Structure 1
Amino acid sequence: MTPKAIDRDQPGTLQDYVDALTKITTHEERFTVRVTNSDGTSTWVTQRHHTRSLPLIHQLEAAIYTTTAESGARAGFESKPSARLDALDTLTRIEAGTLDWLKRLDLKSPVTLTPSGPIFDLCQAVQRAAANAGAPMLRDVRSWWITARTTTGWDSPAWRPRATCPLCAKKGGLRIRLDAQTAHCNECGEVWDHTTIGLLADHIRAENDTPEAEVG
């Protein structure tokens, strides 16, 4: 099956969010290059570069398993394993939320048969729940996408500012991916995307400009 092409940075519909979470997708980036013609003149030509992305749920799983495999070779609980706890937390939230939707919709949980026995298929579960719930599930699926998008990225881990969450006021829970323009709070589950991350940035700047005693 050909991977679906979606806007990797901002899906547009419920199905786009579901596909980004559960299917291989492609992303197209356009760039221009200058080509020299035979008469010595040059022409700017637009070209396209396509990249494939694994389902975000699989990326979360890979991050957890990679950490488990590496942990025996590490002297202590260092930054990468600590960051991967965020992946486990994100995956747990998606699974719990999906199971809740399946229960509300009176749908069975899908399983995949493996040599070790049947296992819960989270990707299929998200697809099944969204197909039956429709628009009312958009808010949750969008939240899962933002959180997964912020958490994934082994080579570019989420930034953890020393600031409070503007919603729950707890410090240490914010996770921000500047390249993806997404953020979430590990404490309360609030999320921000490219349309709202500016508000979060203003909050962080305001706290950093305020004396520590006044921040509380």
Structure 2
Amino acid sequence: MTTHTRPPTDARTSRTARITDRIEDLLEPMTTVGTQWVALDALGYLADLGYGPKVRLAPTAHTVVHPPLVEQLARDAGGSTAGTSSSTGHESRPPGSLDAADTLRTMRRQSRWWVTRAFSADSTRLPADLRLIASRAHELDDDDLRYLDRDVLGWWSHARITTTWATAPMKPNVPCMVCAQVGGLQVVIEPLAAICRRCGSAWDAATIGVLGEHVRLATAAMLDEPRVARRTPSRARDEGLPRILTGLVYESAAGE
């Protein structure tokens, strides 16, 4: 595969920046800030420190630093993290994950191909391969850059959804629009992304509207079928679920 530099265009610049940002997401720790309620006494001290009776609850910012997504995948694929010294809250995830192992395996295989075939470099460890790809993506021609963007979207989306422990992904029980298999679609709201576990397809905020329309049409066609249906919780809609993905989410009698 030929690699060479091209004069930057808006599309190339945007695509290259997106590749770099997503690889950075895979390799760098992520910080989230939430609200935690604590008990304070009349003087404003934490009540559980013994400075007085618990008189009121007050919100306080709670900062959590999560390991890089690649590190989270490796931990999940290797087994339980219980008992490790970490303050990230990641220890509560289930031991061992086939999805994490599959995501890592795909990422390693595809990144090795890009490093050795597209950039004619030596493949080493996954983080180093990903950094090389991010630093040299601008050398690719337009077609190859588009293919790399698609692969990186797959790595990022699968890693994001596989390592989501706070809120489980939504799983619309409809056929995937790419492979037509049921039971593989998974959607998360923050950040907005969707994947198919069956064929590996991925969607981001820019393309998920197409998937949403497919889900809407598929669920509408299933209205007369003998399935158990429930409304998507209003809380999910309030938290930013795209309107096109709201409505009926089907579950089979087997609880898929």
Match of 2:131 in 1: 127
Contact preservation (8 Å) 1:158, 1:176: yes
SS at 1:20's partner residue? helix
Match of 2:246 in 1: none
Letter of the 1:59 partner, please give it. Answer: Q
Q: How does 1:1-216 map to 2 (within 5 A)?
A: 13-26=18-31, 52-67=65-80, 80=94, 84-104=97-117, 105-110=119-124, 121-134=125-138, 136=145, 137-211=148-222, 212=225
Contact kept in structure 2, 1:28 and 1:50, CA below 8 Å? yes
Aligned length: 166
Q: State how far apart, in whole Å, the 2-side matches of 1:195 and 1:25 are.
A: 22
Task: Give a deviation string over 1:40-92, Cα, whole Å, max 9, x none.
Answer: xxxxxxxx9865342111111122234498xxxxxxxxxx568x221111111
| Deviation of the 1:139 alpha carbon | 2.9
- So what's the TM-score if we normalise by structure 2? 0.55
Return the index of the structure with the highest Cα Rg.
2
% identical aligned pairs = 32
- Inter-CA distance 190–51: structure 2 relative to 1 (3 Å threshold): same
2:153/2:204 contact within 8 Å kept: no
Whether contact under 8 Å (2:25, 2:69) holds in the other structure is yes
Distance in 2 (CA, whole Å) between partners of 1:182 and 1:210 is 24
Residues 83-121 of structure 1 show CA distances to partners (whole Å, capped at 9, x for unaligned) of x221111111111101111220221122xxxxxxxxxx2
Report the TM-score, using the length of structure 1 for normalisation. 0.64
- Taking the aligned partners of 1:91 and 1:157, their CA distance within structure 2 comes to 20
Within 2, Cα distance between the matches of 1:18 and 1:185? 20
Q: Is the 8 A contact 1:22 1:124 kept in 2?
A: no
Higher strand fraction: Structure 1 or Structure 2?
1
Q: Deviating runs (4+, > 6 A) in structure 1?
A: none
Change (3 A) 1:25 1:155: closer
The answer on whether the counterparts of 2:193 and 2:203 sit within 8 Å (CA) in structure 1 is: yes
Paired AA for residue 57 in structure 1: V
What letter matches 1:122 in structure 2?
A: L
| RMSD of equivalent CA atoms | 3.2
Unaligned runs of 5+ in 1: 1-10, 30-47, 70-79, 111-120
Structure 1 residue 123: Cα displacement: 1.0
Distance 1:86 1:158, change over 3 A: farther
Alpha-carbon distance between aligned partners in 2 of 1:92 and 1:98, rounded to the nearest angstrom: 10
